[in-house]
Structure 1
Amino acid sequence: MRWTSHGRRLVYESDWVNVWLEDVDIPTIGRIEHHVLTMPRASLTSVVTDDQDRVLLLWRHRFITDTWGWEVPAGWADPDEDPEHAIRREVEEESGYRAGRVTLMTAYNALSGISTMRFTSYHVTDCTHIGAPTDITESSKIEWVPAKDIPGLASKGQISDGPSLTALSYYLGIYRNSDTAVS
């Protein structure tokens, strides 16, 4: 069933998120106001690997969920910023590694039922360590983790961030085993 929109009104706006109430007609239900979240900037994730089959992960605390866990380097593209440039910048700021090769893995809608949020995920290789991360708020530690250990970390709840789980699962289960993977 396709919903019909009769317009929307802005409820809240910021540099991080916009909240709208959309006037929609849902077949068999009728007309309702539906919450819609839009993000002013594009969301990006990266799976950074090395030639020893390891993945670069950041250990960090998320205050909203009050949880600690491993995450992949990620962030937002600034308005009019090329997404590949943005993920290069994010990897360097968050990890202290300069990206060599950056290859598009996939793009997906993160919350299709309520948001326009779209993530683009990249595979990053051939990195060079250039020093300490410039954004020290991003993590408490940075480690190269064997790719074979990723499923165990996830099953123990040590990787519970949705964008990281999605990027890592896609990399391990689809991308790494496809003809499009770049080694």
Structure 2
Amino acid sequence: MRWIVHGERRVYASSYMDLYLSDVEVPGGERYEHHLVRLPRSVGTLVLDASRVLMVWRHRFTTQTWNWELPGGWVDPGESPERAAARETEEETGWRPGELAELAYIQPCAGITDAEQFLYLATHAHYAGPPRHAFESERVAWIPLADVPAMIARHEIVGGVTLVGLWQVLSGQSDAPAPRTAA
């Protein structure tokens, strides 16, 4: 059943997000205001080297948690998601990814936001120098894929785009080489 949108009004705007109240009518005729958060498109990059994945250890003040994440960030105006994925990976890790292939397209909270996330896979990278922004993460590391399931269970990996990418690779649902299992 499709909802009818009669209009929307902006409540708040910034370069990071816009908050709207949408005048919606649900099937059956009930009409009310529904919050809508509009966000720029974002990207993540899963960089593999045979049996390891490139990740950043960072603090998220919004949830007061530390966790391992794939490098990623906003898509700049006029920039393609693929180009943003390469740029963000190098800025956050110092590693320049090789050829990128789309791994997944995600709408993380479709009930309240129009957020779109594009996830890319690179099967090699070249070290280009230190990360551009030291505030992006506490550290950068190549994490063994064999360690990932236990890290997820311990809540050391919790971000949605990171989880989607890792499960795609671990389950063999991508064109990435099959991960080696620990002996």
Fold-level similarity (TM above 0.5):
yes
How many angstroms apart in 1 are the aligned matches of 2:172 and 2:24?
36
For residue 8 of structure 1, what is the aligned residue in structure 2?
Answer: 8
Letter in 2 for 1:61: H
How many angstroms apart in 1 are the aligned matches of 2:67 and 2:89?
18
For residue 131 of structure 2, what is the aligned residue in structure 1?
Answer: 133
User: 1:83 deviation in Å?
Assistant: 1.4
Residues 1:145 and 1:156: Cα distance change in structure 2 (over 3 Å): same
For residue 34 of structure 1, what is the aligned residue in structure 2?
Answer: 34
User: 1:182 deviation in Å?
Assistant: 4.6
Count of matched residue positions in the alignment of Structure 1 and Structure 2: 177
For residue 161 of structure 1, what is the aligned residue in structure 2?
Answer: 159
Question: Superposition RMSD on alpha carbons, in Å?
Answer: 1.3
What is the 5 A alignment of 1:81-100? 81-100=79-98
For residue 110 of structure 2, what is the aligned residue in structure 1?
Answer: 112
TM-score (ref. length: structure 1)? 0.92
User: 1:163 deviation in Å?
Assistant: 2.1
Deviation beyond 3 Å, 4+ runs, structure 1: none
Query: C-alpha deviations, 1:101-126, integer Å up to 9, x for none?
Result: 21111102111111110111000122
Query: C-alpha deviations, 1:14-55, integer Å up to 9, x for none?
Result: 11111111101112360000001111x21101111113x100
For residue 171 of structure 1, what is the aligned residue in structure 2?
Answer: 169
Structure 1 segments unaligned to the other structure (5+ residues): none
For residue 103 of structure 1, what is the aligned residue in structure 2?
Answer: 101
How many angstroms apart in 2 are the aligned matches of 1:155 and 1:55?
17
How many angstroms apart in 1 are the aligned matches of 2:168 and 2:176?
14
User: 1:164 deviation in Å?
Assistant: 1.4
Quick one: percent identity of the two aligned structures? 38
Letter in 2 for 1:14: S
Query: C-alpha deviations, 1:47-68, integer Å up to 9, x for none?
Result: 11113x1001111111111111
Structure 1 position 50 matched with structure 2 position 46: no
How many angstroms apart in 2 are the aligned matches of 1:126 and 1:170?
17
How many angstroms apart in 1 are the aligned matches of 2:172 and 2:5?
36
Contact 1:47/1:73, CA 8 A, preserved across alignment: yes
TM-score (ref. length: structure 2)? 0.92
Contact 2:169/2:176, CA 8 A, preserved across alignment: no
User: 1:174 deviation in Å?
Assistant: 4.7
Query: C-alpha deviations, 1:125-155, integer Å up to 9, x for none?
Result: 2201122111111111111111111111001
For residue 19 of structure 1, what is the aligned residue in structure 2?
Answer: 19
